[in-house]
Homo-oligomer: A and B are copies of this chain.
Amino acid sequence: MTTAHVKTAKGTRTRDRMLESAVVLIPRLGWSAVTARALAGHAGVRPGIIHYHFDSLEALLAEAAVGAVREALEYPSRQLESGISLDEGLHMFLAALDEFAPDEPVNLLFVETFLAAARGGVLRGELAQVLLDFRTRTARWLERVGFDGDADATAAVLAAAVDGLMLHRALDPGLTADKAFPVLRRALGTTAATEGSSP
């Protein structure tokens, strides 16, 4: 499995520092442009140490990315299960939009990880599972909160929309949570008439 013969606190700290550097550099440089030397430089270590703590650079990136995504979803996940309302929940989803920080853009990390996973490898299965789990929790929350449409499909679209908004936000600073809220609020509204009419 993952090479991780860490026995002392110092070793753990170095390992963690490299993981954190990966989380910073992946969005900044792009997944495949994060080199061993760039990462080591950012973490304040020599490149050689990478292969003491990890099997490969790619394994380091994958562990860092999935870990960051899992961690980023933990708090929202718990919130959803704490009985918050539909409006509160949607606000929480969109809060990530306005927390956009150019120096540590977690949103772009999400997208980079998505793309890296789409290219295949171990990442694909792991990330898919993390996201499916979160989507399921979102669907259960929707049901709990009184949504009476297809909760699973709605949760899937909501998650996709938030990711898409984070991506677009990177190019358009005017795309704030305030703007997006009413639109998505409508999608979460009481399930309306199934079909309109063509003029």
Contact = CB atoms under 8 A, between A and B. Distances in A.
A168 B179 contact: no
A184 interface: yes
A159 interface: yes
A130 to B, nearest CB: 10
B87 A195 contact: yes
Interface string A100-137: 00000100100110111111000010011001100000
Contact of A198 (B87, B115, B193): B87
29 contacts: A29-B32, A30-B119, A85-B196, A86-B196, A108-B115, A111-B115, A115-B115, A117-B170, A118-B167, A127-B171, A131-B168, A131-B171, A145-B199, A156-B172, A156-B179, A156-B180, A157-B184, A160-B164, A163-B167, A163-B168, A164-B164, A164-B165, A182-B191, A182-B194, A185-B196, A186-B186, A186-B189, A186-B191, A192-B192
Given A128-B172, A185-B196, 8 more contacts: A30-B115, A115-B170, A131-B172, A153-B180, A160-B164, A160-B168, A161-B165, A189-B193
